[in-house]
A and B are shown apart, each in its own frame.
Chain A
């Protein structure tokens, strides 16, 4: 069977939502391709949940349109949309068993009993929850509940799966395990995942592409590498990873250019001795203000002579804490390859950091 598949699973056009005087979503355009693992990353209150709720159909937009697979669904009720949501608090039905929860979507769509039983059991298997069918949600751990919620959504084979900080309630270790599993499950089922998180690391490790939200708008859309290595705005530079900006006088003195530039901390080399920079390299002299020993790496906070402050992250390949902590106050030079400095369009100070 041959079918023409529209490329876009989700398209948002001029999407806007106001709650009274609060503009939660300030007009965004976004395209998510079929089969993509797409993250919406941003600080608290930046409008991520509101966007997700408009896609699911729980909020109607003040303006703009929502398209799913090329079809305009802006005015449709949630139960008329081919999306399913994994809620932040899971919202499992407490009066139903795990199996009944997972079967729910098929049951209301009148799928025959035998088929829905089979599909629900398969979905539970895919999230590794065989043997839990008869339990009530209250009798499960947080991680197990999260997987039931996932199975309950996946069993319907929606076009798009929306996940609102699905790992937020889990402890660090479980969260890291579930990150790997979610990614594996998504690859298996091939469904588009649209994933909300305020954890930049989570977004970077899991997604094919990321949209960085700030105050109801989108600052940048790109692959994790693009967003991290080449932040488009000062906000993105600050929110995704450590902000390392060279601007004003420092930019003129060190780079010989006007504007604001970003360099990631791990791209900087801390040089103690005389070592002339290569042809592709820039360097800036300064004094080490602070040395933070962090196990596998050490963070050096360096005040530049030309003004401003940069953070350099060095792998502790040879050094031990004894060696590095003694460097506080030492004069150093920071050296980096020009490839790793990127101009940033907004010179404004970042509003918030993660």
Chain B
């Protein structure tokens, strides 16, 4: 496409403005985590590592982080297993109600979290009689994490077709060997991308968590929410936000590398 000089300048300005809206606040969070003034006066009064130290020493914060990691890993594991199986079933086999399965799997992510939360809470409580705790959080998160794995794997299976597996069988590999040497390696990056997304979804979930966590269990988002409005905790919360910004760069970078170096099916 050819753009005139003015429209090119305008586009560039719009891009810069758009990026600024997203990244300036993030930069402010990062800077403020080193701001020696408790009320985040601007410009920063001085440089300090005090808040990072305080965050590191906070037992409540560490517990919450650990809980979130456990919940994220648990939900991701369930999502990987169920999402992969569902994708294989839908793509590879014809059965009654096949079209409905996709809908059923995608629905939880479209449902308002509060509805999922209430529904799950009721079920755990009254129907199953399960005490609310980490396990119920994991199951609650898994309901909407499955879809990320499912979608990634399904897309990969569609693109891959049956040719490679037929070629493998033709060369003498039985079904299991074919899965181990061909299907799974072709699937690997899709699983990783889906898993990363599932983990990220679980990690910052707050609504469903509130309804399924019960009293003793506190995930990181819930801890942040509880401490956000306590004035003397504000700098520590800010440090957590800054740390999360830095940490989330890693999976994004990985996911991009993975999809960039994707094996191409010809």
Q: Which positions in A face B, CB cutoff 8 Å?
A: 56-58, 77-79, 83-85, 87, 89-95, 104-105, 107-109, 137-138, 145, 152-153, 156
Smallest CB separation, A110 vs chain B (Å): 10
Residues of A within 8 A of B264 (CB): 94, 138
Main SS of the interface on chain B?
A: helix
Task: Check: B1 CB closer than 8 A to any chain A CB.
Answer: no
Beyond A95-B186, A108-B181, whether A89 also contacts B266 by CB under 8 A is: yes
Find the B residue at minimum CB distance from A56: B170
Query: Chain A contacts of B266 at CB under 8 A?
Result: 89-90, 92, 94, 137-138, 145
- Nearest CB of A to B189, in Å: 10
- Chain B CB within 10 Å — which of A57, A77, A95, A137 has the most? A95
**CB of B17 closer than 8 Å to a CB of A:** no
Minimum Cβ distance to chain A for residue B145 (Å): 26
Determine whether the beta carbon of A79 is less than 8 Å from that of B181: no
| Chain B residues positioned under 8 Å from A77 (CB to CB) | 169, 174
A94 touching B263, Cβ below 8 Å: yes
> What are some 21 contacts across the A-B interface (CB < 8 A)?
A57-B169, A57-B170, A79-B171, A83-B170, A85-B167, A89-B163, A89-B266, A91-B163, A91-B164, A91-B166, A91-B167, A93-B164, A95-B263, A104-B168, A105-B171, A108-B172, A108-B173, A109-B172, A138-B263, A138-B264, A156-B172
Which single member of A58, A89, A94, A108 contacts B171 (CB below 8 Å)? A108
A89 contacts across to B, CB distance below 8 A: 163, 266
Residues in B with CB closer than 8 Å to A57 are 169-170
Assess the A79–B170 pair: CB atoms within 8 A.
yes
B185: interface (CB < 8 Å): yes
Closest to B163 in A: A91
Cβ–Cβ contact B166 & A78, under 8 A: yes
Q: Would you give the shortest CB distance from B176 to chain A, in whole angstroms? A: 11
Does B177 sit at the interface, judged by CB under 8 A? yes
- Evaluate contact between A152 and B265: CB separation under 8 angstroms: no
CB of B170 within 8 A of CB of A85, answer yes
A27 to B236, CA, bound (A): 78
CB–CB B170/A84 < 8 A: yes
Interface centre among B164, B172, B181 (most CB of A within 10 A): B172
Q: Does B132 count as interface, using CB distance less than 8 angstroms?
A: no
Interface size of B in residues (CB-CB distance below 8 Å): 20
Is B182 part of the binding interface, using a Cβ–Cβ cutoff of 8 Å? Answer: yes
Chain A residue with Cβ nearest B182 = A93
CA distance A61 to B31 in the complex (A): 71
Closest 3 CB pairs of A and B: A105-B171, A91-B167, A78-B169
Find out whether the CB atom of B173 lies under 8 angstroms from the CB atom of A79: yes
Does B168 lie within 8 Å of A95, measured CB to CB? no
- Chain A residue numbers with a CB within 8 Å of B172 are 79, 105, 108-109, 156
Contacts A79-B172, A109-B172, A137-B266 given: A95-B185 contact, CB under 8 Å? yes
Q: Note all chain A residues with C-beta closer than 8 A to B166.
A: 58, 78, 85, 87, 91
Chain B positions within 8 Å of A104 at CB level: 168, 171, 173, 181
Q: In the complex, how many angstroms separate the beta carbon of B172 from the nearest chain A beta carbon? A: 5
Among B181, B182, B266, the most chain A Cβ lie within 10 Å of the Cβ of: B266
Interfacial chain B residues near A79, Cβ < 8 Å: 169-174
> What are the residues of chain A within 8 A of B174 when measuring CB–CB?
77, 79, 108
Give A90 to B170 CA distance when docked, in angstroms: 12
Q: Which of B143-200 contact A (CB under 8 A)?
A: 163-164, 166-174, 177, 181-182, 185-186
Chain A residues, Cβ within 8 Å of B167:
85, 87, 91-93
Q: In the complex, what's the smallest C-beta–C-beta distance from A82 to chain B, in angstroms?
A: 9
